[in-house]
Amino acid sequence: MKRRILSLFIAASLIVCALPAAAFADTATVSIDDKAVVYTPNSDYKSGDCILTASRNMIRRAAILRGSKEWSNITNASLRKDATIFGLLWHNFSHSADGLKYTIKCEKFKGKTEKERINEFEALIKDHPEGVVVWGKKSSSFGEHGVLLTSVINGVPYAADSAHNLGEKNKGIEKWNKTTMYSPLKCTQYWYIKSVDIAKGAPLPAPGQPLAPISAGAVNTESTLKISDASIPSAINKGKAFYIEGVVESNYRISAVNISIMDSTGSVVISETETPNAWNYSLKKLDSRIKFGKLEAGSYRYVVRANDEKTSRTLVDCFFRVVEKKKAKSTLKIKSHNAPQTLSLGQKYVIKGKISSNKIVTKVTAQVVDESGNTVIKASARNLKKSFNIKKKLDPKMKFGTLQRGSYYYKIIAKDTKQTKTLVNKAFIVN
């Protein structure tokens, strides 16, 4: 008779688990088999935490069965100091949360066949409806793994595997053969809740007796809707991209995430919404749809909002500026240069000088102009560098020895990508 009642209880739990998430939003409740109970955000998980996570889920489920309103505060981070040493799970440990002290013990399986092992599973679950942590061989890779055994139905074990409920994954409770574990016969040991003491000191029934007070009903739990690792814009150069990052997480399903950008008048210039229907959502998925590079110079407001089944919150609200970067002025100049003053008829003259700029110098011209403004000698050279050597590139072409007697002007004109400038303009005489 007791077994039949237990079967009905487990079946009812599975039916509740299968209900749409909206049903929980309407009643503001959580079942022990709800996916939110076994979901683990990446930020709360370290490599090798499978057995710790399974223990956390076991304690969470026990807390829900006892009407705790703080079950979501039981996390890997809060449990780690009590349950592990050098990353390994203690065989025996205790953990306190929401006025309850949970004492956990470890024992070894004894069955010699797979059927005997599953019978052991079933017997354990009968006394521990919150589940039992099972440790054994992994099927997907070498090594060992831990999962939370939650039920045995018609000879089939069901379990929650942290490998399938981490980050964006959330498969909840699955048949044993869907987890990453080998046959139940490959499991060697298990952890279970031996006792739970109420804060006032009244102990619950001893091991072997149904844990009470058990309320199969659910509990009203506040939403933990939040954002982590969010990127915050401050000053962005016009035309440049800004990469949106951040992970929205909650203990309830996230129904909507919106990113909006408003201008200085409060008008929305960009707004994108996603409906994840999941326990976490990465804002990177919206990044390509938010075009910061198309914003004009000015002041803006960046807002991230999210809704879950319990609440609606503004997670980011900040002001930022889009600035138009001023273009640097040209520094086109010449140094170490010379210029003729008085030359004899037929006398040669060597010109020199180094032109430089913070822009690319594209062309330099040296010329000699007579009193009437006519160019009598001219030499030009194109350039694709930020410097130019006059002697090397122009001097051979400037034949001062061909000039007739008279007055002249010696000029150097340079051009970079920003401006054209006369750098030298000196008068000289040929006698």
| Same-domain check for residues 168 and 35 | yes
Type of residue found at 173:
I
Which one-letter amino acid corresponds to residue 314?
Answer: T
Same domain, 253 and 354: no
For residue 29, the model assigns a pLDDT of: 65
Q: Does the pLDDT value for residue 24 go beyond 80?
A: no
Residue 20: pLDDT over 70: no
CATH number of the domain enclosing 298: 2.60.40.2550
Q: What pLDDT is attached to residue 219?
A: 44
Type of residue at 290: I
Residue 214 lies in a domain: no
For residue 54, the model assigns a pLDDT of 95
What's the total number of domains in the chain? 3
Range scoring the smallest mean pLDDT among 13-17, 49-53, 59-63, 93-97 = 13-17
In a domain, 216, yes or no: no
Is it the case that residue 9 has pLDDT exceeding 80? no
Q: Is the domain of 60 the same as that of 84?
A: yes
Top-confidence residue, 176 or 4? 176
| Same domain? 72 vs 176 | yes
CATH code of 365's domain:
2.60.40.10
Residue 417 CA to residue 357 CA, distance in Å, equals 10
Residues 237 and 380 in one domain: no
Find the Cα–Cα–Cα–Cα dihedral 185, 188, 189, 190, rounded to 10°. Answer: -30
Residue type at 305 in one-letter notation: R
- Confirm whether 213 is domain-assigned: no
pLDDT at 198: 57
Percent of the chain having pLDDT more than 70? 87
Predicted pLDDT at 221: 63
Q: How many CA atoms lie within 13 A of 372 on its CB side?
A: 4
- Taking alpha carbons only, the member of 200, 244, 208, 252 closest to residue 226 is 252
Report yes or no on 204 lying in a domain: no
Query: Residue 402: its pLDDT value, please?
Result: 95
Using the predicted structure, report yes or no on whether residue 416 has a pLDDT greater than 70.
yes
Kindly state whether residues 306 and 347 are assigned to the same domain: no
Domain assignment present for 219: no
**Residue 23 and residue 79 in one domain:** yes
Q: In this structure, are 152 and 268 located in the same domain?
A: no
81: CATH: 3.90.70
At residue 328, the pLDDT reads: 83
Q: Is the pLDDT of residue 167 over 80?
A: yes
- Give 410 or 127, the one with higher predicted confidence: 410
Are 81 and 171 members of one domain? yes
Name the residue with tokens 């506040």: 222
- Residue 19: per-residue pLDDT: 31
What is the Cα–Cα distance from 261 to 185, expressed in whole angstroms? Answer: 57
Other CB atoms within 10 A of residue 13 CB:
19
103-125 pLDDT, tens digit per residue, is 999 999 998 899 999 999 999 99
Q: Does the residue 203 lie in any domain?
A: no
Whether the per-residue pLDDT at 302 is higher than 90: the answer is: yes
The per-residue pLDDT of the chain, averaged, comes to: 85
Name all contacts of 169-174 with Cβ < 8 Å and 24+ positions apart: 170/35, 170/39, 170/278, 170/279, 171/35, 172/17, 172/33, 172/34, 172/35, 172/38, 173/17, 173/33, 173/38
DSSP-assigned letters across all residues of 224-250? --EEES-----EEETT-------EEEE
3-state secondary structure of 286: helix
In a domain, 218, yes or no: no
% of the chain surpassing 90 pLDDT: 67
Q: Could you tell me what percentage of the chain is helix, strand and coil, using 3-state DSSP and rounding each to the nearest 5?
A: 25, 40, 35
The tens digit of pLDDT for each residue in 128-154 reads: 999 999 999 887 666 889 999 999 999
Using pLDDT thresholds of 50, 70 and 90, give the confidence band for residue 177. very high
Higher pLDDT, 244 or 67: 244
Q: What is the pLDDT of residues 304-342, one digit of tens each?
A: 999 988 889 999 999 999 998 877 889 999 999 999 999
28 plus 53 within the same structural domain:
yes
Domain that holds residue 419: 333-430
pLDDT at 222: 78
Asked if residue 53 is part of any domain, the answer here is: yes
Asked whether residue 25 falls in the same domain as residue 153, the answer is yes
Distance (Å, rounded) from C-alpha 247 to C-alpha 179? 26
Query: What confidence score (pLDDT) does residue 65 get?
Result: 86
Spatial distance between the Cα atoms of 223 and 249, rounded to a whole number of angstroms:
10
Q: What is the mean pLDDT of residues 400-418?
A: 96
Do 105 and 13 share a structural domain? yes
pLDDT digits (tens, 9 = 90+) for 352-396: 999 999 999 999 999 999 999 999 999 999 999 999 999 999 999
Q: In this predicted model, what pLDDT tens digit does every residue of 183-222 receive, in sequence order?
A: 999 999 999 999 887 544 434 444 444 433 443 333 446 7
Residue 367, SS3 per DSSP: strand
253 touches 277 (CB < 8 A)? yes
Q: Please give the distance of CA 431 from its chain centroid, rounded to a whole number.
A: 79
87 pLDDT exceeds 80? no
- Examine the fold and report which residue of 198, 218, 241 is the final residue of a domain before the chain moves on: 198
CA distance 269 to 273: 14
